[in-house]
Every structure is written in C-alpha cells, then in structure tokens.
Amino acid sequence: MRLFVGLGNPGAKYAGNRHNIGFMALDRIAADHGFGPWKKAHQGLACEGRLGLEKVVLLKPETFMNLSGQSVHAAVSFYKLALNEVTVFHDELDLAPGKIRVKTGGGHAGHNGLRSIHQHLGEAYHRVRLGIGHPGHKDAVASYVLHDFAKADQDWLDDLLRGISDGAAALAAGDSAKFLNAVSLRTAPARNSGTGGEAAAKPNPAAGAAKPAAPAAAKPEPPAATSPFDRLRGLFGKGD
C-alpha cells in the first residue's frame, strides 16, 4: 500500500495558488485513474484506488500548509505505514517552472509543509518536487506562492500534471526513473529526431530548411543569328 500526499491550502480561495500544485497533482491522478470519491478523513480529504498493482490512498491535508504533518501523521498511523511507503508532492521554489525531481529524505529547505511533516514523522519519506520558479527575492516568496498561476503558465502546468498522472503507476511501484520518463514525454516531447514526427513533417525555414534558390543574375543573351547577313552584322555592327 502507498500513501500519496499533496500539499496545499484548503478552500476555493487557494485552489489556483502555486503553493497548491501538490493538490492539483493528486486531483489529476484521482480523475484519470478512477479513484473513489474524496471523503473527509485524517484531518484532510482522502480517496482510494489502484495504480497498477498497488493500492494507493491519496491525501490532501486540510490543516493548512503549516500543520500538514498532523494530517499525514494521522494517515500513516491509521494505515500503519512505513515512511518509505509515503510520497509527498509539493511546490519547489528552487526548480524552474515545469521541472520535476524525485527525492528521498533530506532537509525541508524552509518549506513549511515539509517542516511540519519532519516534525511529526522525520525525513525518510519520498518527495516529488514540482518546480514553480522563484520570484527573485526572499521577501517576495510568501506573496508569490500564495498567488495563482499566471495564464501563461497553464500550458506547461497542464503538461506536467498529465505527465505525473501518466507515470503514477510507476511511481507507486517504486520506479522513479520510469515515472520521470513518463513526465518527460509530456513536458519535453522529442523534437526533430528523424523518425517522421511532427517536427520532421513541418520543417522550419529559419532552422535551415532548403529554400528554392534564387535565379542567378545573368547578362541578357543576344538574339540567335538566323542568317549569314545577321552574322556579318554581329561582327561589323549594324551600320546605322
């Protein structure tokens, strides 16, 4: 059995925030893989289903970010799970938008949700770090993470969430490499690889595709001579 935890803040006010990308990831997995309805449990919202051969519980704590550990601890205790059976999806300031990394253990890097989980359970759980970028100054971080994703972010965000869902069964099985490959197929599709893909079918002239050569400038040719008299005129001039 596996426990997938998405970090975020409860309520419609926060639903589109960058800080809630963990909730978004679990919502996509639940919808795509036919999980049961979300129900109140373990100080959060939970639902159950299967990913491949694994039974998986999805958990979205409703304790607010700073107290996420209370909800995660309640679920871990209820299901009697080891920490290596827990995976936490969370926003990551130190990764560029749309980038993803998988990590086990280590520090919380100031993330309040992770800090709370550390306090309740320790650090030996798995994490899926979801890049949201950094605002550039630490004083702007709180406002940045509690602000909705911009309209310009929607394409990469949708690709990332779809990729996470595609690879969810591999992640549940403990195959992080296969999981990351599934995400990569969504977020960084193969470009012109010579295999007849879309990029190969639509050559870009700016990238060196052949263009019809412009005709070279040529001097006008004299009319072809048609008689001995015309040839003599060509040698001695027209004479007029």
The residue extents of the domains of the chain are 2-187
As a whole number of angstroms, the distance between CA 6 and CA 24 comes to: 8
- Residue 204 has a pLDDT of 43
- Please give the model's pTM, rounded to 2 decimal places: 0.79
Interval 194-205 mean pLDDT: 40
- Residue 232 has a pLDDT of 47
- Residue 60 has a pLDDT of 98
Annotated catalytic residue, options 19, 42, 90, 126 = 19
For the chain, the C-alpha Rg in angstroms (whole number) is 31
Q: Are 128 and 69 in contact (CB under 8 A)?
A: no
Least confident of 142-146, 166-170, 205-209: 205-209
Active site residue 19: yes
**3-state SS assignment for residue 193:** coil
Q: The domain 2-187 is classified under which CATH number: 3.10.129.10, 3.40.50.2300, 3.40.50.1460, 3.40.50.1470?
A: 3.40.50.1470
Mean pLDDT of the chain: 86
- The helix-helix angle for 154-166 and 176-187 (nearest 10°) equals 150
Least confident of 29-33, 94-98, 133-137, 215-219: 215-219
